[in-house]
Structure 1
Amino acid sequence: MTETAQPRAGRVLPVWAVATIAGGFGLFYAYVVWNAVTLLVYQASGVLGINGLGWTVLLIAVLLPIVVYAIAFAVGWRRRALPFAAVLFAGLCLVAAFWINVLAYAYAYGGSLLGS
């Protein structure tokens, strides 16, 4: 009367497919990280520098895409191709919305709020 674990129903993606989908979306996430680091360096080396709020906002802008990508990958890597891509795309949309808000903040209030 022992029960054995049933294998998971459906197909699991091969490793090359997971790597291709994750790598493709990873490039978009990396682009956002690269832009956030560039903005952070640009603002920090500016004439006015950055205050505490500016450091917080820009460091979150650097770290958020990495965290969201890791969460989206962990949630979706065992799914089929389309749901896996959809989870990564949803995370990318979240990151893009945050990045647009950071850009609006930096360009609208750049000198007065980010500066000392």
Structure 2
Amino acid sequence: MSASETTPAGPADTPKTIAAPRWVVAAVAGFFGLFYAYAVWTAVSFLLQQAGADGGLTGYGWFVLLLPIVFPIIVFVAAVLVGRRRRILPLSLVMFAGLTVVAVFWLNVFSLTFTASASIYVR
């Protein structure tokens, strides 16, 4: 082999990213999970409050007000699956980004209930 020829890089030559330990992933997910659970609990409370109003909800109203209950759970699971093999900071950023998406969705649903009340509530 001459000096101008290069040897292929082996597995020992490639940099390896080290994921956070499982207990750290669980702790970060648990910490952010409390905020996601708060979003779900708030959505359940709002649904029960609106369903108990005079006349109740239409089918569309139930659909619109059930989405904020299911959506944070889906986003939390997706954020954990995306961030579980990463370090602590990227995992925290993924969880926080998911939480901001949940907050924006909740505000959209909340504003929809006030602007489109004719189609959500039975009159």
Band of TM-score, shorter chain? 0.7 to 0.9
Gaps of 5+ in 1: none
Q: Which runs of 4+ in 1 moved over 4 A?
A: none
Q: What secondary structure sits across from 1:88 in the alignment? A: helix
Q: Using the alignment, how far apart are the partners of 1:114 and 1:48 within structure 2? A: 11
- The structure richer in helix per residue is 1
**1:31-87 C-alpha deviation (Å, 9 max, x unpaired):** 000000001111111112000111111111100000010011001101000111111
Length, aligned pairs only: 111
**RMSD between aligned alpha carbons?**
1.9
Gaps of 5+ in 2: 1-10
Q: Using the alignment, how far apart are the partners of 1:76 and 1:12 within structure 2? A: 10
Is 1:39 aligned with 2:55? Answer: no
Is 1:97 aligned with 2:104? Answer: yes
Q: Residue 15 of structure 1 corresponds to which residue in structure 2?
A: 22
Structure 1 counterpart of 2:121, one-letter code: G
Q: Residue 27 of structure 1 corresponds to which residue in structure 2?
A: 34
- Between the aligned residues of both structures, percent identity stands at 45
TM-score by length of 2: 0.82
Compare CA radii of gyration and give the structure with the larger one.
2
